[in-house]
Amino acid sequence: MGPAMKQFPPSSVTPAQGCAWVTGASSGIGEAVAIRLVQDGWTVMASARSADKLAQVAAGQDGRIVPVPVDVTDLEAVKAAVASIETMHGPIALAILNAGTYTPDSAKTFQSADVRMHMEINVMGTVHCIEALLPGMIARESGQIAVVSSVAGYRGLPRASAYGASKAALIRMSESLKFDLDRLGIKMQVVNPGFVRTPLTDKNDFPMPMIIEAEEAADKLVRGLADNAFEITFPRRFTFLMQRLRGLPYGLYFACVRKMTGS
Ligand SMILES: NC(=O)c1ccc[n+]([C@@H]2O[C@H](COP(=O)([O-])OP(=O)(O)OC[C@H]3O[C@@H](n4cnc5c(N)ncnc54)[C@H](OP(=O)(O)O)[C@@H]3O)[C@@H](O)[C@H]2O)c1
């Protein structure tokens, strides 16, 4: 397609164009998204570090979920995983870059090792996947990438300095890449969930307003892939509130979040 005929934003991909790749697919949102994508006709490459858990997710899916164990912090391993998927299963048309981690922090326990871990997994892990995917997608002039960030990346929240910083970086990086990717025929979206019940949030010892189950989150995420909107966000009532908070001047912002969280 000539440059004058390119569609903005690029259209969503379909299973006819290749397979889907979901990182962080061994539990929580990623697992539910992999299963949900199979229902939409996709063959899904499922990645995480735990080969055992991936095998359990793939069981009973008639070979439509293929475990591809990889640690996203290892660039060479990620590149090898993408190359092997594309050799054996054809192009990766759709990538849901969802692998992530979260440990609550506080000023008293603030440590570089903790921040580095969040940056390595959440930011660099996603960067490695994008680096491995782009040459193929650019050559094909098609593809779709959804980066799973969080509403915790909008502005600073209590006990999430490392996590929030890593998720803010993902939002900003995805926004920036979108300008180029639009012209290259590749659809870029960012996913900003509120609270979803998963092993990641099971460690929270505070009330999580409007929390939803992973299956509902996966359904909303997959429906959002077909939308033109850059941001996919759910549950809407909660994320709408977070979006209003994002626009407040600092004085009001800190006062509101203190009141809401008791921090
Ligand atoms: N749950 C929420 O409320 C919520 C809200 C906003 C955003 N999110 C985001 O949603 C994403 C999924 O989270 P979740 O809630 O579903 O948590 P989860 O159940 O803990 O899932 C995290 C996934 O990431 C994988 N992972 C972690 N480190 C990895 C690494 N180095 N290499 C490859 N895979 C790795 C984990 O598998 P292994 O341990 O086997 O590697 C697991 O499959 C995360 O990016 C999270 O930040 C979650």
The tens digit of pLDDT for each residue in 17-26 reads: 999 999 999 9
Please tell me if the CB atom of residue 193 comes closer than 6 angstroms to any atom of ligand 1. yes
> How close is the Cα of 24 to the center of ligand 1, in Å?
5
- The per-residue b/e assignment along 105-116, b for 16 or more CB within 10 angstroms, e otherwise, is beeeeeeeebbe
Please tell me if the CB atom of residue 102 comes closer than 6 angstroms to any atom of ligand 1. yes
The residues that are catalytic are 149, 163, 167
Residue 9 has pLDDT above 90, yes or no: no
- Quote the pLDDT of residue 7: 75
Lowest-confidence pick of 4-13, 39-48, 147-156: 4-13
> How close is the Cα of 1 to the center of ligand 1, in Å?
37
| Three-state SS at 179 | helix
Residue 2 has pLDDT above 70, yes or no: no
Percent of the chain past pLDDT 70, that is, above it, reads: 98
Looking at per-residue pLDDT, the higher value among 3 and 33 belongs to 33
Identify which of 21, 22, 23, 26 to mutate to test ligand 1's pocket (most ligand atoms within 8 A of the CB).
26
Residue 8 has pLDDT above 70, yes or no: yes
- Quote the pLDDT of residue 204: 87
- Mean predicted confidence (pLDDT) in 217-230: 97
Across all residues in the chain, what is the average pLDDT?
Answer: 96
Residue 256 has pLDDT above 90, yes or no: yes
Identify which of 22, 29, 202 to mutate to test ligand 1's pocket (most ligand atoms within 8 A of the CB).
29
Q: Tell me if 193 sits within 8 A of 152, measured CB to CB.
A: no
- Quote the pLDDT of residue 6: 67
- Whole-number Cα distances in Å, 179 to 139, 148, 172, 261: 17, 18, 12, 36
Number of folded domains that form the chain = 1
Which range marks the domain in which residue 151 is found?
3-261
Please tell me if the CB atom of residue 71 comes closer than 6 angstroms to any atom of ligand 1. yes
- Mean predicted confidence (pLDDT) in 218-241: 97
> How close is the Cα of 99 to the center of ligand 1, in Å?
4
Neighbour tally for 210: CB within 10 Å:
13
Residue 178: CB partners within 8 Å, gap ≥ 6?
A: 9, 188, 230
Residue 219 has pLDDT above 70, yes or no: yes
CATH code assigned at 180: 3.40.50.720
Neighbour tally for 63: CB within 10 Å:
7
Residue 4 has pLDDT above 50, yes or no: no
- Quote the pLDDT of residue 1: 46
Residue 237 has pLDDT above 60, yes or no: yes
Alpha-carbon span 68 to 145, nearest angstrom: 18
Lowest-confidence pick of 89-93, 184-188, 206-210: 206-210
Nearest atom, ligand 1, residue 100 CA: 45
pLDDT one-digit tens code per residue, 128-173:
999 999 999 999 999 999 999 999 999 999 999 999 999 999 999 9
Please tell me if the CB atom of residue 217 comes closer than 6 angstroms to any atom of ligand 1. no
- Quote the pLDDT of residue 94: 98
- Quote the pLDDT of residue 203: 85
